[in-house]
Structure 1
């Protein structure tokens, strides 16, 4: 993962079986990327964007 200032971060994550199944479906769908790394990064970025929108509405 590359931070906003260009520095590289390594992030270790663990997934439950249910989360792994969801990741497999998202990977097969292809809308968040073509690798697990891209899918995890894309989903996290979408989560952050949606939370920012929620904050703007309040």
Structure 2
């Protein structure tokens, strides 16, 4: 017999709601919305800001 004898018992840790993607999906809530808002803001500033000399 080869392999991990506990593989069946540990399988739940890596499937379904406990998969790697699902574990990290909620790590940064609101990051996507915040990033989109920042990109829109910077784009607006670049298009509407008057160039000024220092």
What range describes the TM-score normalised by the shorter chain of this pair?
Answer: 0.3 to 0.5
The TM-score with structure 2 as length reference comes to 0.32
Give the greater-gyration-radius structure (CA): 2
Larger helix share, 1 or 2? 2
Higher RCO (CA < 8 A, seq sep 6+): 1
